[in-house]
Amino acid sequence: MIDGRLSNLDRLSEHRKLLERAVARFQNDGRVVGLAAGGSLAHGAADFYSEVDLYIVVQDEGLDEIFGERDTIVEAVGSPLFGFVVDPMPGGSTDHIVIYEGPVKFDFMYLKESDFKPALKWAGCAVLKDARSRGSRHCPLRRACAGSTDSRGTPRPEPEGLDLVLVRLRQDRAGRAVGSARWSP
């Protein structure tokens, strides 16, 4: 189900089981348009103490309903020890933080589809479901998670506004840097 997209899970069996159950729970739910794993699991730096970060992108009209089912969802994924809800920031995710036996901390982060915007936090996330892609890598979730990274694997922001203009000007000059300084985002 996760198809080797998260190689860290090979040595974290409890994390793997919980994430696979969560993905299975949301996979055929039509209200869920996207799933992405983030954090250290997605960036190849996970260890026994790492949490599972699961972003759940939901159709706007389905968010309240699916978040209302959070206790049932948590039970379907594993045996929770306890959990709590984090008050959302405007335009941000509504988070349900759960500690499972193991212990494994699991962050269920629910996000309205209309609030989803490309941002640095998405770079490097592993897309586990994308109902909007129809096999295309040009859909918003897949594009945002592809992102770009520097030589150390640190996510770089996508250029925006004036930065985008600077990138295009540089590309118009046969791909060579103009001036003595090299521009980078």
Q: Is the pLDDT of residue 79 over 50?
A: yes
**Tokens 């979730």 found at:** 141
Residues 78 and 158 in one domain: no
Domain that holds residue 183: 149-185
Q: For the chain, what is the domain count? A: 2
**For the chain, how many helices (H) and strands (E)?**
6, 8
Helix (H, G, I), strand (E, B) or coil at 179: coil
Residue 117 lies in a domain: yes
How much is the pTM?
A: 0.75
Joined together, the tokens standing for residue 117 give: 């915007």
Residues 55 and 121 in one domain: yes
Q: pLDDT tens digit string along 80-121?
A: 999 999 988 777 889 999 999 989 999 999 999 988 877 777
User: What is the share, in percent, of the chain residues with pLDDT greater than 70?
Assistant: 69
Residue 21 lies in a domain: yes
